Amino acid sequence: MLNDEICKLRDKLNKSIENGEDYKITYKLSIELDELIAKYYKTLEQNKKKPVVVAII
């Protein structure tokens, strides 16, 4: 699930920062996280636009 991927990558980014890893690695992880978050919000927006079907009985 996208949510799980975001959490895992966020943890990986945080560890990279805490461990003082090379800036290029931290930056790459940050960009990947930004892309996943954007994808998540895009998915939410697309789901909002789907018509709701209501059955009247």
What is the pTM (predicted TM-score) of this model?
0.78
Q: Taking all residues of the chain, what is their mean pLDDT, rounded to a whole number?
A: 89
Sign of the dihedral defined by the CA atoms of residues 29, 30, 32, 37, in that order: positive
Count up the domains in the chain and report the number: 1
**Residue 6 confidence (pLDDT):** 95
pLDDT at 23: 96
Does residue 54 sit within a domain? no
Place of tokens 């996208």: 2
Are 13 and 26 within 8 A, CB to CB? Answer: yes
Range of the domain at 27: 2-49
Q: How far apart are CA 53 and CA 14, in angstroms?
A: 42
The answer to whether residue 56 sits within a structural domain is no
Q: What is the rounded CA–CA span in Å between residue 48 and residue 18?
A: 37
Q: Is residue 55 part of a domain?
A: no
Per-residue pLDDT of the chain in tens (57 residues, 90 and over written 9): 899 999 999 999 999 999 999 999 999 999 999 999 999 999 988 888 766 666 666
Whole-angstrom distance, CA of residue 13 vs CA of residue 2: 16
Residue 57 lies in a domain: no
- With respect to residue 29, please indicate whether it lies within any of the assigned structural domains: yes
